[in-house]
Every structure is written in structure tokens, then in C-alpha cells.
Amino acid sequence: MVLFAPFRGITYNIKRFKNEISKLVAPPYDVISKEEQDFFYKIHPYNVIRLILGKEKVGDTDWDNKYTRAAEYFNKWQREGILVRAKRPCIYLTCISYEINGKVKDRWGIIGLVKIEDSDSKQILPHERTFSAHKEDRLRLMKACSAQFSQIFGLYSDPEEKVMSLVKERVNLDSPLLDFLFIDGTRHRMWKIEDDSLLFRQLREIFEEKRIIIADGHHRYETSRNLRDIMRTRYGRNPYKSYEFVMMYLANMDSEGLTILPSHRLIKKASGFDIGSFLRDISQFFDIEELLIHDRGNIENDIMEKIKKIGEKNSVFAFFANGSDRIYILSLKPDQRDKMGNDLHPALKELDVLVLSRLIFQRVLGFSKEDLDNSNIFHYTTDIEKAINQVRKGDYQMAFILNPTKVEAIKKVTMNSLIMPRKSTYFYPKILTGLVFNKIDPNEIIEIL
């Protein structure tokens, strides 16, 4: 059973910073480059980057490091009124407006607390693999600060839009608490709803009957569970203590506002690669069509349109290698999914990312499963133009262009308690960090209405 609850969120002091919020927030820590980290440090002295991705210093110790400094900032900002905590339990309604493929879309979501489930839960389901290094980093930060700074991005199914209909009725949509444009052009609005026991109870009853799929934030969710277990040892197993819950942003996976982008694969170097031999070897699995690049101005759109159409019924990729004058469209031949191996569930065999991994990366290019997780070999991008240009320049040896993973495929995989490979999905836009934080007080009881 999913248990949803309001909470006393911590936000930037809106009265003081209402016109500066765009300079205080940042993307999730794991998509921020070193250059972007520097940018967010400079843009405002109270930017959330100091909490979620502090800079390391020469001479850092166990007592003075990026985690302890984040805790110092967090506590100081609360004392000075930079950050303020709601006096009563709330939920937060958000809307992200963004342009994709020439169309403006709105993705609505709500932010609240969800009770943490054990790893064998059938109610809160991961969909991608995680790596221990990220979890260790986030655990150190959460322990130092006693807070959750970023929401887990969860998806629920609601074809009739019952949740959003209920929530939107309770606010004046023309008067959001926050309304700003971020540097990437996305528009962000947020409303706070408090003292609405009827709504909170209605939402609790609705979510009790639902499952939640984790879209983004797998590391942070597992870290929250690890912290919960540590706190249980220290403070006991009260099911309503604050450490039993995690802050989540919940969006409807059946909404048109949900966008999943593809994660194209770039390969630094494949040992002994020869394009002629490669094409001969993959022809046992794929039908191959060639597209000449010369004198074609908008080749990226041509590629995406072509693989999108084929991808409605089949697994397909576009392939480009350094030094080549053509793009190759690779369409899976009939009955070749069986060659992927008997260890895969049928739902996994339908995934393009696994077709690519098993039949091309492992069978033809000879990469091991360990190689597939090596960031020195594989790189990922959602930008097809960037992918092709980096191969042209010789930064990478080759690129594989993919279609985005379908929501239906995610449902099928997670409902069978299966896990996708890493970078199978890229949910766009990312949820900004800095809109609202959740304090973890071991003595605090979460009010269930």
C-alpha cells in the first residue's frame, strides 16, 4: 500500500526572493557538469548548488568537507530566514511548461511525502539499475544535513486525471506562489496547499490503490531507505517517524505532458573495429539501409523521422561511424529477438536498449557486461546533432541513435518486477532542486490525515 502524506516543507523565503528564485534553483546534482557547478556557484550566493553539490577543497577532512559545509549552509540559512519552514503540513502543486518538437506542453505534478517501502515492495517500483558510488555520496549528504533536498520523481497511472482534478480545484491557478523562467527556457509554477484535511485524505485514499514507478532518483530513494534503516536502529521502528518517509514529485504517466527523450549511445573506441566487417557481422541480425549525408542539410530530423516510423512496430537504430559519409539504419530482422539469450524475460527482449546491448555491443563488438558500465567507453546524450558532430570530430568512434523508450514498455517491465539497463530513459524536463526541501527530524511524527 502506498502511503501519501502532506509535510512541513522548507522553501526559500518567498517574500524576500520571489523575483530571484530562478537564480536559486538548479537541476538535479547528477546532471550538473563541473562548468555548470561553477556557474551556479557564481549566479547567486544562496543558490542550492551549495547544498546538493558542494565544491571539494584541498585539505578536506572528515570534519570539514563538502557534506559538513552543506549542513552549515543549510542550518545558517534557516537561522537567517533565507529558508523558512511551513507551520503546518502542506502539499505542493507544480506545473512545468516546456517546448518539445515545436509544441508547448505542461507537466503537472504534486510534491508530498511517500512512505519508504522495502526492496521487495510491489508498490514502489524502480525501473533502472543503480550504482553504489552515487548512493554512498547521497547518504553522506543526507546524514550530514538531516534533510532531503531533491524530490524522487515518481509516476502513477491515472487515465481519468482524478488526482490533478482534485488538486487543481483547491488553488487559484492564476496566482501561483512561484512563477519563473529557468535558464533553459522552461517555465515553472508552484502552489502551496495547506489546512485541507479533506483533500489530503482523498489523496491518501487514491494512492493507497496505486503503484508508483520511480522515473528519476533511484539512488536517492535507495539512499533514503538506507538512512531509514540507520535511524530505526538509533530511534526505533515507529511507522510514522519522519525518517520512514521520502519526499516525492508525483506525475501522471498517462498525461500528454510526460515526455521521454532517447539516450543515444556514443562509443569512445571498440577494439579492432572495421566498418566493413561490422556491417557484415550485424547483417545476420539486422536489415541495413544506407543514407548518404552529403548535401543533406537537416540529416538529424530525417534520421529521427525514419527511425520513429520504423520503431512503431520494430526495434531500429541509426548508426554513424567516424570517417563515414553515410548513416546506416539498422532494423531488427524477424525472429532475431530469440538470439538475445534465454536469460531475458520477454518484456526485456522488447526493449531497444537491450536489443542494441545484446546483439551489437556484446555479440558483434565484443564488449563485456562490465564494459557497458564503463564511462570511459560509453557516453550518453539526448542530442542527436551533438552525437553526430562529436563522432565527425573524432571525439568518439561511433554513435547509435535510438528512439525513446515507450511508457507502455516501462509499465510492462516494472509490473513484472524487472529492471531496465541504465540510461534506458531520460524524462524531460528534469525536476529543479530548490523548490522545496524536507527536514528529517528523528523525533517528528508525520501527520496522516
Q: How many degrees, rounded to 5, is the angle at CA 3 between CA 143 and CA 113?
A: 40
Output the pTM of the full model: 0.93
- Work out the mean pLDDT of the chain and round it to a whole number: 94
Each residue's pLDDT tens digit, 353-397:
999 999 999 999 999 989 998 989 999 999 999 999 999 999 999
pLDDT in the model for residue 131: 64
Q: What is the pLDDT of residues 304-317, one digit of tens each?
A: 999 999 999 999 99
Q: How far apart are CA 426 and CA 128, in angstroms?
A: 11
pLDDT in tens, 17-28: 989 999 999 999
Asked if 41 and 55 touch (Cβ cutoff 8 Å), the reply is yes
> Please, which pLDDT band fits residue 295 given cuts at 50, 70 and 90?
low
Q: Mean pLDDT over residues 66-84, rounded? A: 98
Q: Which position has the grid cell 554512498? A: 136
Q: φ and ψ at 290, to 5 degrees?
A: -100, 140
Cell numbers linked to 70:
552543506
Average pLDDT over every residue of 201-229: 95
pLDDT of residue 421: 86
Question: Does residue 9 surpass a pLDDT of 60?
Answer: yes
**CA-closest candidate to residue 242, choices 418, 404, 440, 43:** 440
Rounded Cα gap, residues 141 and 189, in angstroms:
28
- Quote the cell numbers at residue 104: 508547448
Q: What is the pLDDT of residues 327-347, one digit of tens each?
A: 999 999 999 999 998 899 999
Measured between alpha carbons, how far is 51 from 365 in angstroms, rounded to an integer? 42
Q: What is the spatial distance between Cα 214 and Cα 123, in angstroms, rounded to a whole number?
A: 10
| Nearest alpha carbon to residue 156 among 212, 72, 97 | 212
* φ, ψ at 130 (rounded to 5°): -125, 165
Going by pLDDT thresholds of 50, 70 and 90, the confidence category of residue 248 is very high
In this prediction, residue 132 has a pLDDT band, given cuts at 50, 70 and 90, of: low
pLDDT given for residue 302 in this prediction: 86
pLDDT tens-digit series, residues 24-55: 999 999 889 999 999 999 999 999 999 999 99
pLDDT at 107 over 60: yes
Residue 297 has a pLDDT of 60
pLDDT number for residue 129: 72
Average pLDDT over every residue of 169-177:
96
Q: In this model, does residue 324 exceed pLDDT 70?
A: yes
Q: What is the dihedral of CA 118, 122, 123, 126, to 10 degrees?
A: 80
pLDDT at 130: 65
Percent share of the chain, pLDDT over 70? 98
Distance of alpha carbon 2 from alpha carbon 303, whole angstroms: 42
Q: Where are the alpha helices (DSSP H) in 60-171?
A: 66-79, 132-145, 162-168
- Cβ neighbors of 60 (< 8 A, separation 6 or more) are 66
For the cut 90, the answer to whether the pLDDT of residue 298 exceeds it is: no
In this structure, the chain runs to a length of: 449
pLDDT value for 449: 76
- Could you give the count of Cα atoms lying within 13 Å of 251 in the half-sphere of its Cβ? 26
Residue 293 has pLDDT above 80, yes or no: no
Provide DSSP, 144-172.
Answer: HHTEE-S-EEEEE--TT-HHHHHHHTTS-
User: What does the alpha-carbon distance between residue 345 and residue 305 come to, in Å, rounded to a whole number?
Assistant: 29
Answer whether 25's CB lies under 8 Å from 83's CB: no
- How far apart are alpha carbons 198 and 76 in whole angstroms? 36
Listed by start position, the domains of the chain span: 4-259+429-439, 263-403
Residue 23, pLDDT score: 98
Q: Residue 272 — very low, low, confident or very high, per pLDDT cuts 50/70/90?
A: very high
Residues 6+ apart with CB under 8 A from 245: 5, 7, 113, 114, 115, 116, 438, 446
Q: What is the pLDDT of residue 234?
A: 96
Alpha helices, DSSP H only, in 156-293? Answer: 162-168, 197-208, 218-235, 275-282
Q: What is the pLDDT of residue 296?
A: 55
pLDDT tops 90 at residue 134: no
What is the spatial distance between Cα 406 and Cα 259, in angstroms, rounded to a whole number? 10
